[in-house]
Amino acid sequence: MADRRGIAGTTGITGISLALAVLAPVAACTFGGDDEPTGPHRINAARLVHVSAEGTIDPSQSVTVTAVPGSRLTDVTVADPDGRAVAGLLAEDQRSWQSTGRLRPGTAYTVRISAADDRNGRGDTTANFSTVAAQRLLTAKLGPDSSGSGIYGVGQPLTVQLSEAVKDPQARQEVEKVLTVSSQPAVTGAWYWVDDKELHFRPEEYWPVGTTVGLAFDGTGMRIADGLYGGDRSSLRLRIGARVETVIDAAAHVLTLKRDGAVLRNIPVTTGKPGFDTRNGIKVVLGQERSVRMNGETIGLKAGSSESYDLNVEWATRVTWSGEYVHAAPWSVNSQGVSNVSHGCTGMSTDNAKWYFQNTRVGDLVTVVNSRGHSMEPFGNGFGDWNVSWADWFTHSALGQPLTTTAPAAQAPAAGMARPEL
């Protein structure tokens, strides 16, 4: 019996030792403290990062991704379901990333993050959020339409027609902030709110000859007012041609055309007769028509009356929306250079009208002097913008001060918003 107890006791000790021997290797393989691996391995990246955006956010907010101490971001992408990525900037120390591009209203976004820790562990994670839908979306129609030659005269203003009325002064400032005017060379200019939906931009002086001009509206995700957010980007580019200026002296009955300061031709003309006097002031060529039908009823003349007319007119260069043109008037050749007999237009011989038509373009300047008529209105009947003094012009900007245009995108990788000239 004593031997059995001895054997039994020995067996018990041996079993415990074996058990410890089996457990020991397992305990030795657990990671902790300085024994954590330093070679490449996978980690749970979700525990290393924080995303500021969650749930539903205002699209005007920025998105920030930060890494916890002891870790860093190696890649961050924020994209909508169509794969359109939001621009962003990774900090030099890779501890944070912040969006620089704007979010679109009413859109779901996925944030894809790659992170690493100080022991070469790497992992990926995702997060999701969405943006508040816009009750109203503000879009902009930009002018002039540069789908043709894209070359305009030195008097051509830039125009913006908004899809929604913007009345609040602060909201108007937000609109101006999402409008970019670029030019080479740079010019000083300003926006003028014509009404709640229309803005014009012009330089302090006429555009320099050869200027390349760009206009962009990029309101994507910009909060303009309660429920009103900016729409997608739109833009145009145009080039300014030679400085072509027409001066029509209604009293002397002569039209003088100059290019870059040099007189090209003096043309005998007739302008508006009493009661139909041609408007004084600076106008801008709006368009050119090889042939146009002109009817007195469009300006309130009764058909069959002594003043009525219905004519097919050639080589017509338009300067007001109400129907003032510089055009061929072979029926009044005997009065041209002598007296004013038209209903407000400037008439000349067919040969001279053709030559004039071929030597002018949209955006060129047409100034009428010494007429007994009213002055050209600044807006609503064409581009009378240059009849507004510069001191008055820029006070009708929501920003209330001049701007210096930026360099075009082709010359500058990231052309910013036209900035205040201080």
The domain segmentation of the chain, as residue ranges, is 41-131, 136-241+388-420, 244-386
**Alpha-carbon span 229 to 221, nearest angstrom:** 6
Across residues 230-242, what is the average pLDDT?
Answer: 95
* Domain 244-386, CATH: 2.40.440.10
Name the most confidently modeled range: 21-30, 290-299, 398-407: 398-407
Nearest to 179, CA basis, from 139, 219, 207: 219
**At residue 9, does pLDDT exceed 60?**
no
pLDDT of 303 reads: 77
Contact 93, 13 (CB under 8 A): no
Contact 21, 39 (CB under 8 A): no
Q: Residue 293: phi, psi to the nearest 5?
A: -85, 125
Catalytic residues: 327, 345
271 alpha-carbon distance from chain centroid: 40
Apex CA 8: angle with CA 5 and CA 10, to 5°?
110
Contact 342, 276 (CB under 8 A): yes
CA diameter of the chain: 153
Task: Report the topology of domain 41-131.
Answer: Immunoglobulin-like (2.60.40)
What lies within 8 Å, CB to CB, of 380 at 6+ separation is 321
Annotate 127-161 with DSSP letters as a single string: EEEEEPPPSEEE-EEEES--SS--EE-TTPPEEEE
**At residue 36, does pLDDT exceed 90?**
no
Ranking 28-32, 64-68, 91-95 by mean pLDDT, the lowest is: 28-32
Confidence band (pLDDT; 50, 70, 90) for 373?
A: confident
Q: How many CB atoms lie within 10 A of CB 260?
A: 11
**Alpha-carbon span 34 to 44, nearest angstrom:** 19
In the chain, pLDDT over 90 holds for what percent of residues?
79
pLDDT of 414 reads: 33
* Domain 136-241+388-420, CATH: 2.60.40.3710
Confidence band (pLDDT; 50, 70, 90) for 37?
A: low
What tokens were used for 43? 């980690």
Torsional sign, CA 13, 17, 18, 22 = positive
**At residue 33, does pLDDT exceed 70?**
no
With H, G, I as helix, E, B as strand and everything else as coil, classify residue 76. Answer: strand
Q: What residue has token string 């600076």?
A: 282
Task: Name the E strands within 197-309.
Answer: 198-203, 212-217, 223-225, 228-230, 234-240, 244-249, 254-259, 262-268, 281-284, 287-295
**At residue 185, does pLDDT exceed 60?**
yes
Q: Are strands 188-193 and 198-203 parallel, antiparallel or unpaired?
A: antiparallel
What tokens were used for 54? 């969650």
Question: What are the pLDDT digits (tens) for 283-326?
Answer: 999 999 999 988 766 777 777 776 767 788 999 999 999 999 99
pLDDT of 129 reads: 98
**At residue 370, does pLDDT exceed 90?**
yes
**At residue 163, does pLDDT exceed 80?**
yes
What lies within 8 Å, CB to CB, of 298 at 6+ separation is 323
**At residue 340, does pLDDT exceed 60?**
yes
The reply to whether omega before 105 is within 30° of 0 (cis) is no
Question: What are the pLDDT digits (tens) for 82-115?
Answer: 999 999 999 999 999 999 999 999 999 999 999 9
pLDDT of 17 reads: 40
Q: Residue 11: phi, psi to the nearest 5?
A: -60, -40
Q: For residue 244, with 0-12 CB atoms within 10 Å meaning exposed, 13-18 middle and 19 or more buried, which class applies?
A: buried
Beta bridge partners of 230: 138, 220
Per the model's pLDDT, the better-predicted residue between 325 and 30 turns out to be: 325
**Alpha-carbon span 325 to 382, nearest angstrom:** 12
